[in-house]
Structures are given as structure tokens and as C-alpha cells.
């Protein structure tokens, strides 16, 4: 998976704020032009599928004055297509690879609704972007697989100022996020994401849609915060909720009772199961989000040692 994008580019209609009239170059053309190749250290695989790019842009843009923070702008192909759509808005393109920054600055020079930020996306303050705009922002990007989970949780943490997020991740991770209770893909990641966000699948993207092709397929998903950024179930302490969810999945072959007892006091676990009526002989992966909410409320937050 990738932290960068590239493709057979924009439709070149020249609409919008200082946009180029010629089609944006293909990733292969740009790599050749600048004498570059994908870097494993940055998790770079450049998207060369017009279909996938159109799907991402269509799912991301909801109005021509959207402000979009793009994670891992890479060669700028997705950036250019987004900029063409948000003629009254802005693209804040985040990129940390100096070579990619050189390409972005050269190829997008004069496109005045694109702001290029030389920054690690994990360190970027999404709330500051919303403050700058004075309204909610949209997030999109092709997430490097090794930091996809922390980036998704960073978006969830900032959900009060995020209108939507459209991200490409490994198919395996997407399957886990959308999995229903009971299946082998259902786990703590999916529970935690869907406690705070509505999730839908935008597009499935095969390995052949990238240069170089990664060893895995990818999926584009859309995350939309729930109304008022509230969780799906009442949660008094988000960290405690996360701890209970992770404990329930911590030992998948064990019963829920034993998995929870590995983390929390035995008497506390037994009392919580009794008071909620949740069968401790069940496996953690059979609980739905509502049950996790009830269970968390019944387990007191452990006092600091």
C-alpha cells in the first residue's frame, strides 16, 4: 500500500483556481521526468487507475467549496483532480518525501487552491486546518499500510471537525473494519472504528492498479462521523471503552469471561457479566457494539496504581 498517488490524471478542462489547461501527467511520465522510483521506506505505490481515482474524487468532494486535507500527496495526480473539483475550496496536500515535494511544487505551481505542506501526516494538526477554514474539513488519501491504523484513529479523534474521510487501505484491513460480529474478520479495530463512524465501501482496487504493484489488493472506504460526533453507544470514558474492547478480543480462543479476567479483576468481571446478563461463556467476537457499551459501563475504571 501506498502513501502516494499518481494516475492518468485530470481531465484538463482548466476550470477553477489557476488550474493547468493540459492533462496532468501519468505517474510513469512523472517518475521518468524526475528520475525517481517508488521508495519502500515511504510505502510508495503510485495509483495509475483512472477508475479508482475517479471513485476517490467522487466520494471525497461534496461541494465546490470543500477544504480537503490529502494525506500522502505523492506525485500530485489525485491532488490535481481534487483541486479541479473544489474551485471555491482548498486542497492541503501533505507529503514528507523531499523528492515528491519537488514534483508537487513543480507540477502544481500556479494552482492557487493547492497548499503543499512538508509534514508527516501523523504529526499534522487536523483541527488547525478546520480553524483556518472556520468550518469542517474533509480528509482523503492513500494510506501507507504500516501507519494506516494510527492515521484512521487520528481522524476519529478529530471527528468533531471532519465532515468525511475517504481513504484507501489494504483490503484485509478494510474487511476487518466492515465485518459483522461473529466472523473471523470481526475484531477490535472494526468495533473501535464503527463505534464512532459510519463506514461504507467506495471501491475495490486490485494490485495491478499501482506502480509498482503491491503484494496486496486495496479497498477505498468512506468514514462519516455520527451526528454531533457522538459515539454509537453512551461512553463515559473512551480509553476505558477501548481497553474493554481490546481485552475481549485479546485471547480469541478464550471465553469472554476469561479474556476479560486476563486484564480486569475477576470479581469485577463476574459482577459486570451478571449485571448485564451477557453470557461469559460467549467469545468476545460475538458481541456487538451495543453490548460492548453496556459491558464497559458495568466495569469500573481501574484505579491508578
Helix extents (H) in the chain:
27-34, 50-60, 77-85, 98-107, 126-133, 148-157, 171-178, 188-196, 238-249, 256-261, 266-276, 289-298
d(CA 95, CA 73): 6
Of 229, 252, 270, which closes a domain? Answer: 229
Answer whether residue 7 shows pLDDT above 60.
no
d(CA 4, CA 47): 8
Of 171, 203, 229, which closes a domain? Answer: 229
Longest dimension (CA), the chain: 70
Same structural domain, 31 and 166: yes
CATH number for the domain harbouring residue 281: 1.10.8.100
Of 229, 249, 266, which closes a domain? Answer: 229
- Of the candidate ranges 14-23, 34-43, 85-94, 279-288, the one whose mean pLDDT is the lowest: 14-23
What is the average per-residue pLDDT within 11-25? Answer: 55
Same structural domain, 198 and 293: no
Answer whether residue 305 shows pLDDT above 90.
no
pLDDT of residue 3: 46
Measure Cα distances from 300 to 79, 244, 262, 264, 272 in Å.
47, 10, 15, 9, 9
Answer whether residue 241 shows pLDDT above 90.
yes
What is the average per-residue pLDDT within 111-120? Answer: 97
Does 17 fall in a domain?
no
pLDDT of residue 304: 65
Is 157 in contact with 192 (CB distance < 8 Å)?
no
pLDDT of residue 123: 97
What is the average per-residue pLDDT within 76-103? Answer: 97
d(CA 181, CA 166): 24
More confident residue, 3 or 200: 200
Answer whether residue 13 shows pLDDT above 70.
no
CATH number for the domain harbouring residue 148: 3.40.50.150
Same structural domain, 32 and 167: yes
Please state, for a pLDDT cut of 70, what percent of the chain lies above it. Answer: 92
Span 212-229, pLDDT tens digits:
899 999 999 999 999 999
Same structural domain, 45 and 106: yes
Same structural domain, 74 and 117: yes
Answer whether residue 20 shows pLDDT above 60.
no
Q: Mapping DSSP to helix (H, G, I), strand (E, B) and coil, where does residue 71 land?
A: strand
Cα–Cα nearest to 77, from 210, 215, 223, 219: 210
Measure Cα distances from 23 to 46, 77, 79 in Å.
17, 10, 13
Does 93 fall in a domain?
yes
pLDDT of residue 163: 98
SS (H, E, C) 174-221: HHHHHCCCCCCCCCHHHHHHHHHEEEEEEEEECHHHEECCCCCCEEEE
More confident residue, 43 or 113: 113
Does 12 fall in a domain?
no
pLDDT of residue 43: 77
Same structural domain, 48 and 136: yes
- 195 phi and psi angles, rounded to 5 deg: -65, -30
What is the average per-residue pLDDT within 168-172? Answer: 97
Q: How far from the centroid of its chain's Cα atoms is residue 265's Cα?
A: 35
Average predicted confidence (pLDDT) for the chain = 92
Same structural domain, 166 and 49: yes
pLDDT of residue 14: 39
pLDDT band, residue 11 (cuts 50/70/90): very low
Same structural domain, 125 and 220: yes
Does 16 fall in a domain?
no
Kindly report the number of other CB atoms within 10 A of residue 279's CB atom: 11
- b/e per residue 198-210 (b: at least 16 CB within 10 A): ebeebbebeeebb
More confident residue, 53 or 5: 53
Domain containing 287 equals 238-298
Is 289 in contact with 226 (CB distance < 8 Å)?
no
Is 16 in contact with 33 (CB distance < 8 Å)?
no
Q: Global pTM?
A: 0.91
Amino acid at each position: 500500500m501506498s502513501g502516494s498517488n499518481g494516475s492518468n490524471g485530470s481531465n484538463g478542462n482548466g476550470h477553477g483556481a489557476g488550474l493547468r489547461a493540459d492533462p496532468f501527467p501519468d505517474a510513469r511520465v512523472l517518475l521518468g521526468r524526475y528520475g525517481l522510483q517508488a521508495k519502500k521506506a515511504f510505502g510508495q505505490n503510485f495509483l495509475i487507475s483512472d477508475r479508482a481515482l475517479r471513485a476517490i474524487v467522487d466520494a471525497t468532494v461534496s461541494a465546490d467549496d470543500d477544504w480537503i486535507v490529502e494525506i500522502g500527496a505523492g506525485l500530485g495526480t489525485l491532488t490535481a483532480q481534487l483541486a479541479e473539483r473544489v474551485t471555491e475550496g482548498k486542497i492541503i496536500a501533505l507529503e514528507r518525501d523531499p523528492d515528491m515535494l519537488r514534483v508537487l511544487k513543480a507540477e502544481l505551481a500556479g494552482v492557487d487552491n493547492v497548499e503543499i505542506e512538508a509534514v508527516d501526516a501523523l504529526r499534522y494538526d487536523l483541527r488547525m486546518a478546520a480553524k483556518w477554514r472556520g468550518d469542517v474539513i474533509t480528509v482523503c488519501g492513500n494510506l501507507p499500510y504500516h501507519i494506516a491504523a494510527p492515521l484512521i484513529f487520528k481522524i476519529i479523534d478529530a471527528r468533531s471537525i471532519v465532515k468525511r474521510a475517504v481513504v484507501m487501505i489494504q483490503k484485509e484491513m478494510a474487511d476487518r473494519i466492515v465485518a459483522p460480529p461473529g466472523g473471523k474478520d470481526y475484531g477490535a479495530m472494526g468495533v473501535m472504528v464503527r463505534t464512532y463512524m459510519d463506514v461504507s465501501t467506495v471501491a475495490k482496487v486490485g494490485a495491478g492498479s499501482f506502480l509498482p504493484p503491491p503484494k496486496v489488493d486495496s479497498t477505498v472506504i468512506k468514514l462519516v462521523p455520527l451526528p454531533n460526533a457522538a459515539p454509537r453507544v453512551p461512553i463515559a470514558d473512551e480509553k476505558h471503552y477501548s481497553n474493554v474492547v481490546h481485552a475481549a478480543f485479546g485471547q480469541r480462543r478464550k471465553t469472554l469471561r476469561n479474556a476479560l479476567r486476563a486484564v480486569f479483576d475477576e470479581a469485577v468481571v463476574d459482577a459486570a457479566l451478571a449485571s448485564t446478563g451477557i453470557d461469559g461463556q460467549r467469545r468476545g467476537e460475538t458481541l456487538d457494539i451495543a453490548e460492548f457499551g453496556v459491558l464497559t459501563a458495568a466495569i469500573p475504571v481501574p484505579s491508578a496504581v
